[in-house]
Chain A
Amino acid sequence: QVQLQESGPGLVRPSETLSLTCTVSGGSIPYYYWSWIRQPPGKRLEWIGYIYYSGTISFSGTTNYNPSLKSRVTISLDRSNNQFSLNLHSLTAADTAIYYCARGQYYNGPPDYWGQGTLVTVSS
């Protein structure tokens, strides 16, 4: 069964860049949609975006981002390590949240497998 595990810093300073990595085990990267989703404390879930990789050697993946975050987000793949990553730039306190990575089976389908989540606090 596929498992996902987030890793990265728990505390980041305002205006800096958040970098998180999701390691996928028990499954492979190609042909799935790999998402990042966040949840501020006590608030609703917010989809950040996903990356899809078709398995073509020379193809780095197709991304799709939440319009409200698109200007600050980059999601990328590390196929050799079965990982995908999130970079979120120009952080503010409003970016404090639990960040989850998750897998989807089609472009408009639900994330079905989720990581346990990692709390990121933006504070000086």
Chain B
Amino acid sequence: QSVLTQPPSVSAAPGQKVTISCSGSSSDIGDNYVSWYQQLPGTAPKLLIYDTTQRPSGIPDRFSGSKSGTSATLGIAGLQTGDEADYYCGTWDGRVSAWVFGEGTRLTVL
């Protein structure tokens, strides 16, 4: 089963923009929508982006998603200290018919 590759950590100053990458393969990201989750310390993951670019109700437009080929990117603009969390990408792997998650990226707002 594939595991999506993310950088272990990223950091930026308040107010700045950061991007988090998620690399996969043709059977997962390359052929399916991508989702992104935010996990604050000690809490369950929260859906931030679905269908690669869509935001659920209540998610601010500071969060954005995109995809190119077998890689996807989460963008977070206007960083706030409350954005410090772990971020996970996820998608369907059609080769094994299973949902797969990325390794997770810890965001630090300096």
Indicate with 1 or 0, residue by residue over A95-124, a CB within 8 angstroms of chain B CB atoms.
000001000000011111011110000000
Contact present for B98 and A67 (CB under 8 Å): yes
Docked Cα-Cα span, A67 to B95, in Å, equals: 11
What are the residues of chain A within 8 A of B32 when measuring CB–CB?
108
With A109-B50, A110-B90 in contact, is A67–B99 under 8 Å at CB?
Answer: no
Majority SS of interface residues in chain A? loop
Complex Cα gap A87–B55 (Å): 33
Question: Given A35, A112, A117, which contacts B50 in the complex, CB threshold below 8 Å?
Answer: A112
Of all chain B residues, the one with the shortest Cβ separation from A64 is B97
Contact A114:B44 (CB < 8 A) given known A44-B102, A44-B104: yes
Q: How many residues of A contact B (CB 8 A)?
A: 20
Residues in B whose Cβ lies below 8 Å from that of A46: 101
Which B residues are CB-close (under 8 A) to A66? 1, 98
Interface members, chain B 52-110 (any A CB < 8 Å): 56, 88, 90, 92, 94, 96-104
Asked whether, in the complex, the Cβ of A100 is within 8 Å of the Cβ of B44, the reply is yes
- B35 proximal to A (CB < 8 A): yes
Q: Which of B3, B50, B94, B104 contacts A110 (CB 8 A)?
A: B50
Name the one of A45, A67, A111, A114 contacting B1, with C-beta atoms under 8 angstroms. Answer: A67
Task: With a 10 A CB-CB cut-off, give which of A45, A67, A100 has the most chain B CB atoms.
Answer: A45
Name the distance in Å between B12's Cβ and chain A's nearest Cβ: 22
Flag whether A32 is at the interface (Cβ < 8 A).
no
A101–B45 CA distance with the chains assembled, in angstroms: 11
Which residue of A35, A64, A65, A110 is within 8 Å of B47 (Cβ)?
A110
In contact, A47 and B99 (Cβ under 8 angstroms): yes
> With a CB–CB cut-off of 8 A, which chain B residues contact A68?
1
* Inter-chain contact B45/A67, CB cutoff 8 Å: no
21 contacts between A and B (CB under 8 A): A35-B99, A44-B3, A44-B104, A45-B90, A45-B101, A47-B99, A47-B101, A64-B97, A66-B98, A67-B96, A67-B98, A68-B1, A108-B32, A108-B94, A108-B99, A110-B33, A110-B35, A110-B50, A112-B50, A114-B45, A116-B44
Nearest 4 pairs of A and B residues by beta carbon: A108-B92, A110-B35, A47-B99, A45-B101
